[in-house]
Amino acid sequence: MKPFLPLILLLLPVFVKAQQVDSIYFHLYTDSLKKGQHNYINVDAKLNNGRWLPMTSKEVEFSCSQARFEGNELVIPADFGEAKVTVKAVLKSNRSLVIEKTIWIKTVPDPELPRLKRQ
């Protein structure tokens, strides 16, 4: 393995450079966000080789004027009064790659789960 280490180190920049981000997309797990909870905002990058790569707040700068982010999670206060939020994501390594999305806030409460009867 040691004889190959210099070769690996020499070729590593070629492999890293070959995987450049072409575009970024929101791939949300839901069509609305919940108040009083952490809502995971999923951003994926499409690489120039056609592969997809999940992004975190290490690679993407998230912002929302109506709520706050903790990493990839948008925290919406329980007393939030607006019907929707606009989320923005900017790729840190290429600030020209920017996406924005308006996401609705859930208004109908979740149904209660049936309680299991103990025997």
119, part of any domain: no
1, part of any domain: no
Summarize the confidence of residues 19-39 as an average pLDDT: 93
Q: What is the structure's pLDDT at 30?
A: 87
- Residue 53: give its domain's CATH number: 2.60.40
4, part of any domain: no
Q: What is the CA radius of gyration of the chain?
A: 20
46, part of any domain: yes
115, part of any domain: no
12, part of any domain: no
The pLDDT tens digits for 40-77 are 999 999 999 999 999 999 999 999 999 999 999 999 99
92, part of any domain: yes
Which residue bears the tokens 């109908």?
108
32-33 and 98-105 beta bridge pairing? parallel
**What is the total count of domains within the chain?**
1
99, part of any domain: yes
Domain containing residue 63: 20-104
Q: Give one DSSP letter per residue of 38-81, joined into a string.
A: EEE--EEEEETTS-EEEE-TTTEEEE-SSSEEETTEEE--TT--
pLDDT band at 8 (very low <50, low <70, confident <90, very high): low
